[in-house]
Chain A
Amino acid sequence: MQIPGKLHSKHVYITYPLKNGGEMTAVEDFNLVVDKGEFVCIVGPSGCGKSTVLGAVAGFQEISDGQLFLDGKEIRGAGRDRGVVFQHASLFPWRTALDNIIYGLEIAGVPKKDRNEKGQELLKLVGLESFGNHYPNQLSGGMQQRVNVARALAIEPSLMLLDEPFGALDAQTREFMQLELLRIWKATNQTILFVTHDIGEAVYLSDHVIVMTARPGRVLEKVKIDLPRPRPLEIKRSKEFIEYEKYIWDLIVTEKQKNVV
């Protein structure tokens, strides 16, 4: 059997145990194919299971039914073939920026000289060349997330997973980070699965936006974003962009109302 795409989610169900002994279905019949080199965002109402899906792909979250494939192999547990960027400040406070970036390489047993070289390269890539010796509490929120992205890139993963990485940043920094992420994505030819609740962010970044239903989360629609690349930030004010935003926004609002009724 041929397994399509880089990432393939096939009839995936994810449940959480409830206190009373029962279980709650968070994600239901989730189907998705992400091709190599694609940038795919997942949006949906709060609590619809976006993080849960990402956690399953990352290997933290067990799935109760269905199958997840990465490069044709079924996903079982966490691994270095996936680079994860967390929303919260998940940098090690006792490590410098450089030492945070090379954490994965250290774990993988890459010799010190090689990993430091790679670390310097990545510092440059994310624009923090002169901050390698800084500790996380000496960096701004935006800089910290650059380090976070660089740390995930360092292990040269097959797939990058980002869960609202810019959610805690102010609006201006967030836009700048989006621009930077697209540059890094192009420079590294990565495949990216990105969770956000910011529709504008999703439209701006994505090749495809996956809109999820309210809980239990399913794929409501896969919206192809046909905007030219490279995308300058001004594109966010273009008619086409705004139409994409409105279209997705309407999908989600209808979904939310359904949930209330």
Chain B
Amino acid sequence: MDNLKRNEKELTSVLNNPITSLHVKKTKKKTPFYDTFLFRHIGAITFVTVLILWELIYRLGVINPIFLSSPVQIIKVGYQLFVSGILLEHLVFTLRNFIVGFLLAASVGVVIGLITGWYKPLGKAFDPFLTAMLGTPRIVLLPLITLWVGVGFASKVLVVFLAGIFPIILNTMSGVQNLDPNLTRVAKAFGASPIQTFVTVALPGALPQIVSGLRVGIGQSLIGVVAAEMFVSTGGIGYFVAQSSANFNIDRVFVGIVLIIIVGILITQSVKWIESRLLKHRID
């Protein structure tokens, strides 16, 4: 007991010693740059700074307000449009085109990708066609599509579908083609039938590539829907932006653009989230 108390005393004297405590303070003060508040929030800080500069430029009248809106203006007009329900109406219109088209692209694309990846000759046969389509901005097909199916719902869905499906097919296909041969051999060693090998090796093995195909596809589909709406539509955010621009309503143009940016960010983030859940154990 006594011993313990003595030890305690010694410890306090060490802590109170000006030399030792100085040392403690010194190491505490030296925070490296990457640990500072500035560094950790550098993205947000830059973002806010740009917005403020933008607002200033607008207020100082450097640029003719016919050509430029401002953050405050965008929020103000955006809020009015939101309350009046106009914005929501266009958003729902766009999302409907987008979701239907993309779900079709995803399901058909994955199936085609799996089949063409699994049956090598089939993959080889379609490869030039697929590669050509992947390298082409599919929006160029829009005039043809309107000629075939008109300018209604089907035309937009078809554009979204075509925009998204090729990266999905190609990624899925290469995922199946580039399976680890060691793993397919394991399946064979355990007497797996071709179908069992497909289900237990090809499908899970190609999953990372399938997901990355879907991610690329979703981005392209989003581009597709907005572009299609700009050209042939009577609704949707793309239409809203194009229409507002034609009417020289610059604030509305910016509101539409910001809305698309938000939708894009939300979609990308949710895909990232799904991806991280799905592929939790692959990242080493």
Q: Are B192 and A107 in touch, CB under 8 angstroms?
A: yes
Which residues 227-284 in B have Cβ within 8 Å of A in the complex?
Answer: 281-282, 284
Known contacts A106-B200, A107-B200; is-contact A94 B189 (Cβ 8 Å): no
Q: Are B282 and A104 in touch, CB under 8 angstroms?
A: no
Q: Are B183 and A92 in touch, CB under 8 angstroms?
A: yes
Total count of chain B residues near the partner, CB < 8 A: 19
Which residues 93-115 in A have Cβ within 8 Å of B in the complex?
Answer: 93-94, 103-104, 106-108
Interface string of A200-213 (1 = CB under 8 A from B): 00000000000000
B116 to chain A, nearest CB (A): 23
Interface string of A113-146 (1 = CB under 8 A from B): 0000000000000000000000101100000000
Q: Are B191 and A90 in touch, CB under 8 angstroms?
A: no
Interface string of B189-202 (1 = CB under 8 A from A): 11110001000110
Which residues 149-186 in A have Cβ within 8 Å of B in the complex?
Answer: 155
Residues on B with beta carbons closer than 8 Å to the beta carbon of A92: 183, 186, 200-201, 204
Q: Are B200 and A103 in touch, CB under 8 angstroms?
A: yes
Total count of chain A residues near the partner, CB < 8 A: 24
A103 to B190, CA, bound (A): 8
B182 within 8 Å of A by Cβ?
yes
A84 within 8 Å of B by Cβ?
yes
Q: Are B182 and A88 in touch, CB under 8 angstroms?
A: yes
By secondary structure, the A interface counts as: loop
A20 to chain B, nearest CB (A): 24
Which residue of chain B has its CB nearest to the CB of A79?
B191
A87 to chain B, nearest CB (A): 9
Which residue of chain B has its CB nearest to the CB of A155?
B190
Q: Are A137 and B281 in touch, CB under 8 angstroms?
A: yes
Which residue of chain A has its CB nearest to the CB of B203?
A94
A247 within 8 Å of B by Cβ?
no
Q: Are A80 and B186 in touch, CB under 8 angstroms?
A: no
Known contacts A86-B186, A94-B282; is-contact A80 B207 (Cβ 8 Å): no
Q: Are A78 and B200 in touch, CB under 8 angstroms?
A: no
B188 within 8 Å of A by Cβ?
yes
A106 to B282, CA, bound (A): 22
B9 within 8 Å of A by Cβ?
no
Q: Are A107 and B189 in touch, CB under 8 angstroms?
A: no
B185 within 8 Å of A by Cβ?
yes
Q: Are B182 and A86 in touch, CB under 8 angstroms?
A: yes
Q: Are B200 and A60 in touch, CB under 8 angstroms?
A: no
A12 within 8 Å of B by Cβ?
no
A70 within 8 Å of B by Cβ?
no
Listed from nearest, the 10 A-B pairs whose CB atoms lie closest are A135-B281, A104-B190, A137-B284, A84-B189, A80-B191, A94-B204, A90-B182, A107-B192, A107-B190, A90-B186
- Give chain B's interface residues, CB within 8 Å of chain A: 182-183, 185-192, 196, 200-201, 204-205, 207, 281-282, 284
29 A-B residue pairs with Cβ-Cβ distance under 8 Å, sorted by A, are A58-B189, A60-B185, A60-B188, A78-B188, A78-B191, A80-B190, A80-B191, A82-B189, A86-B186, A88-B182, A89-B182, A90-B182, A90-B185, A92-B183, A92-B204, A93-B281, A94-B205, A94-B282, A103-B190, A103-B200, A104-B190, A104-B191, A107-B187, A107-B191, A107-B196, A108-B190, A108-B191, A137-B281, A137-B284
- Give chain A's interface residues, CB within 8 Å of chain B: 58-60, 78-80, 82, 84, 86, 88-90, 92-94, 103-104, 106-108, 135, 137-138, 155
